[in-house]
A and B are shown apart, each in its own frame.
Chain A
Amino acid sequence: MTRSTWTRRGFLGLSAAAAVAGTAACTGTGTAPSGGTAASSGPASNNLRLFTYEDDTTIGLLKDLVAKFDSQNGTTTRVDSLPGSGAAVYPDKLRAELLGGSGPDIWRIWGGQIGAPFAKAKQAMDLSPYYSKFGWDSRLNSNAIDGMTFDGVKAGAPFVANAIGGWYSKAAFSKAGISAPPKTYAELEEANTKLVAAGITPCTLGGKYGWDIMRLFEYLLETSAGPDLHDKLLTGAESWDRPEVVTAFTNFKKWQDSKWLPNGALGLDPSDVETDYVSGKAAYTLTGTWTEAAGIQAAKKSSSDFGTFLLPTDQTPARHSGFVEGYMISSKSGNPDKAAALIDHILQPDSQKALSITASTVTGAEPDKSKLPLSYEWSEISKTSPFYTIQDQAFPKKQADQYFSVQSDVLQGKMSPADAAKQMQTVAAGLPKS
């Protein structure tokens, strides 16, 4: 064995060790629990970073608003956005940033079980002092505040309380001979049948991430179970293994088998299909008021060519699915006071209007009837129709994915509705007690 031979072998050995370590690093988290400090670390830094998921239609408005705040307050705020995949990817990115030590000072997040982990892990600070300082309690919708209060801690400032309803193309309904939006579940089924007969896909939803097609199932569950039982099911207070749940799964399968959903809906990306009702490929979808600005008007279409309706549940009260979104402040922010002031700036009624927020929680920021007539309709509907928590915010992510998996199996005929109800009870049994 010569010296040079040993050196090459040694080098190869070291390379192998490095490769092994590299493999481990690629498959591991590689982060420390402490996470580090926010990007704007340091005492009373005037550098802030805001992380959001605005899309191209609204990010410019937000940046303009933030720039105005910066010019008035001597701050420099960077706005980063990750649009596109809904609640499926954004929270992962946020979490990775927070643990990586370059987390934002302020971030937008959904309420319920999506925002809860950030509050419980104390990555988000308690905003109670700022609620008092800025009077948010009296200026914001109290139900929305509840949606961002976790274990009694007000960890977020909600600015959106979205409602999910039916959004349809008047041309498609007219072509199928439907004169008015359905008022009962039977009328909705009848409308679907007419649309299929007219060669139009009735309801466009995509099942790729689970949460979009879930909107249909939760509506069917509200219809079959009613408000009281539905709420108890979501908290695990009642068993899912019951006839009302079986009925909901049976109807769910019926929607696919009757071709009331797009062909192969389970594999479709929601962002690819949600606006199919605008482009004429489908008649309607189940979505929120953001679709008026981001879907209809962004496609240069007139709101008057479209309509919206409260999904008919045949129950009293007639409820709709809803969820809140708001802002949180990092507990490691270098300047939480300025961060809170920026949030307060965004929560001003004029700011909300400038941002084209179609379902604001802020008093005095209702959508402009002349510019957003359909969103305005929803602000009126919401006054009389209470909402139930959208199910991907009602369940922790793990249980929500198991729930999506059951829905997938039912639609593929791999699981009967009765077995699905039993399986859902197993999923619900795993819900955290809190």
Chain B
Amino acid sequence: MATATAVAPATSRVAGVRQNKKRYGGLRPWLFALPALAVYATFLVYPAATSLFFSFTDWDGLSPTYNIVGLANYTAMAQDPVVIQALLNNLIWTVVTIVVPVLIGLTLAILLNGKVRGKTPLRLLFYTPCVLPLVSIASIWGWLYNPDSGVINETLRAVGLGDLAQPWLGQDSTALWAVMVPAIWLRVGFPMLLYLAALQGIPAELYEAATVDGASRSQQLWFITLPSLRQAHYIVIALSLIDSFKVFDMIYAMTYGGPGTATQVMGTWMYANVFQYYQAGYGTAIAVVITVIAIAVSIPYVLSQTKEHA
């Protein structure tokens, strides 16, 4: 009896292990994942954890020593007027550089999906800004915006609208908006490409049936095209949202956060503190906040993708 009772749990354990192995795949999947995990851990997880640690210190970014200051860097952020301004600028940037490129990209995709002459070169033309180096774009647009000799003001003067000529990058009221224009220009191609791919997946029979039923073009757009692009909308908006909140390079290259602090965003303000003000502890605290926000906005996307593949 005793033997029987001893054997039964052992058999049960073995069966459980086998069941778990069958269910989870045993060690083999982990062995395959190990190289990638090692890379992630070394180059991503470790630096991220290090950054988190330094956000609780007063490290200046150069000295070999530092003090632990607890949450002081985080409480200081609440009293930093530039952080408030940077957050507001991030919000404006995010809304504008998502909504406008997505709308333009969708419109272009719909137009270029039909029977259009020169479709291929046009697609290439609209997508080209996406592959240009950001610093080149910033330099080109910096020249376009030159108050005296830039093409934008020259054109305005040439057509009798000289009163509208502005020092676009040299005043608080226009600087952020002026930087957003090239950002929109370069980001239109990405949603256009995704929407084009999605549009080509919509069965032509749906449009044929709708036409037979007497649906107008706008009704077809509203009741067939847009609902069929639901998944593409989700991907485009989620990826654009994450990308927008991490904005740094365009502002750094075009205005350096100025005039004054008018175009500072969280990324540039973090950089200023870590690399220029020798306040690495405070700067990494800003980086942690950016990270937390970026994670928060990416969770719905990751969850949706996980569900989709479940």
Q: Is B270 an interface residue (CB 8 A)?
A: yes
A89 and B284 alpha carbons, distance in the complex (Å)? 19
- Stretch from B10-18, B69-77, B141-149 that touches the partner: B141-149
Q: Which partner residue on chain A sits nearest B271 by CB separation? A: A92
Contact A21 B44 (CB under 8 A): yes
A23 and B51 alpha carbons, distance in the complex (Å)? 12
Chain B residues lying within 8 Å of A95, measured Cβ to Cβ, are 61-62, 275
Q: Is A404 an interface residue (CB 8 A)?
A: yes
Q: Given known contacts A27-B270, A208-B169, what 4 new A-B pairs fall within 8 Å (CB)?
A: A266-B259, A272-B146, A401-B272, A405-B258
Contact A27 B291 (CB under 8 A): yes
Nearest first, the 5 closest Cβ-Cβ pairs linking A and B are: A264-B167, A267-B170, A28-B51, A264-B147, A24-B48
CB within 8 Å for A24 and B258 given contacts A12-B305, A267-B147, A267-B168? no
Contact A28 B50 (CB under 8 A): yes
Q: Is A146 an interface residue (CB 8 A)?
A: no
Contact B279 A398 (CB under 8 A): yes
Q: Is A129 an interface residue (CB 8 A)?
A: no
* Chain B min CB distance to A316 (Å): 35
Q: Is A408 an interface residue (CB 8 A)?
A: yes
Main secondary structure of the interface of A (DSSP, over half): helix
Q: Is B298 an interface residue (CB 8 A)?
A: yes
Q: Which of A16, A123, A263 touches B306 (beta carbons < 8 Å)?
A: A16
Contact A263 B147 (CB under 8 A): yes
Chain A residues lying within 8 Å of B183, measured Cβ to Cβ, are none
Contact B277 A13 (CB under 8 A): no
Contact B43 A88 (CB under 8 A): no
* Chain A min CB distance to B190 (Å): 18
Q: Is B287 an interface residue (CB 8 A)?
A: yes
Query: Can you list, as one digit per residue, whether each of B248-283 has a CB less than 8 Å from chain A (1) or not (0)?
Result: 000000011011111000010011101111111001
Q: Which of A13, A24, A33, A266 touches B64 (beta carbons < 8 Å)?
A: A33
Q: Which of A8, A29, A404, A408 touches B280 (beta carbons < 8 Å)?
A: A29
CB within 8 Å for A14 and B33 given contacts A29-B54, A92-B276, A264-B171? yes
Number of A-B contacts (CB under 8 A): 203
CB contacts under 8 Å to A, within B207-227, are none
A99 and B60 alpha carbons, distance in the complex (Å)? 12
- Stretch from B1-9, B20-28, B108-116, B192-200 that touches the partner: B20-28
Query: Can you list, as one digit per residue, whether each of B273-310 has a CB less than 8 Å from chain A (1) or not (0)?
Result: 01111111001100110110011001000100110011
Chain A residues lying within 8 Å of B294, measured Cβ to Cβ, are 23, 27
Contact A414 B310 (CB under 8 A): no
CB within 8 Å for A92 and B275 given contacts A21-B44, A22-B44, A405-B261? yes
Q: Which partner residue on chain A sits nearest B30 by CB separation? A: A10
Contact B64 A34 (CB under 8 A): yes
Contacts A/B (CB < 8 Å), 13 sampled: A3-B24, A6-B23, A8-B310, A12-B306, A20-B291, A23-B246, A26-B246, A30-B51, A117-B278, A122-B64, A264-B166, A264-B170, A268-B170
Q: Which partner residue on chain B sits nearest A405 by CB separation? A: B260
A374 and B169 alpha carbons, distance in the complex (Å)? 34
Task: Point out which of B166, B278, B283 has the most chain A C-beta atoms below 10 A from its C-beta.
Answer: B278
CB within 8 Å for A27 and B267 given contacts A33-B64, A95-B61, A208-B256? yes
* Chain A min CB distance to B22 (Å): 7
Q: Which partner residue on chain B sits nearest A24 by CB separation? A: B48
Q: Which partner residue on chain A sits nearest B299 by CB separation? A: A16
Task: Point out which of A3, A29, A122 has the most chain B C-beta atoms below 10 A from its C-beta.
Answer: A29
A282 and B168 alpha carbons, distance in the complex (Å)? 21
Query: Can you list, as one digit per residue, whether each of A244-284 has a CB less than 8 Å from chain B (1) or not (0)?
Result: 00000000000000000011111111001000000000000
Chain B residues lying within 8 Å of A13, measured Cβ to Cβ, are 306
A23 and B47 alpha carbons, distance in the complex (Å)? 11
* Chain B min CB distance to A222 (Å): 23
Q: Which partner residue on chain B sits nearest A415 by CB separation? A: B260
Contact A412 B171 (CB under 8 A): yes
* Chain A min CB distance to B59 (Å): 6
Q: Is B63 an interface residue (CB 8 A)?
A: yes
Q: Which of A17, A209, A262, A405 touches B147 (beta carbons < 8 Å)?
A: A262
Q: Which partner residue on chain B sits nearest A21 by CB separation? A: B44
* Chain A min CB distance to B18 (Å): 13
Q: Is A96 an interface residue (CB 8 A)?
A: yes
Contact A210 B258 (CB under 8 A): yes
A14 and B37 alpha carbons, distance in the complex (Å)? 9
A21 and B42 alpha carbons, distance in the complex (Å)? 11
CB within 8 Å for A28 and B23 given contacts A117-B62, A208-B256, A414-B172? no
CB contacts under 8 Å to B, within A88-123, are 88, 91-92, 95-96, 98-99, 117-118, 120-123
Q: Is A397 an interface residue (CB 8 A)?
A: yes
Q: Is B40 an interface residue (CB 8 A)?
A: yes
Chain A residues lying within 8 Å of B22, measured Cβ to Cβ, are 3
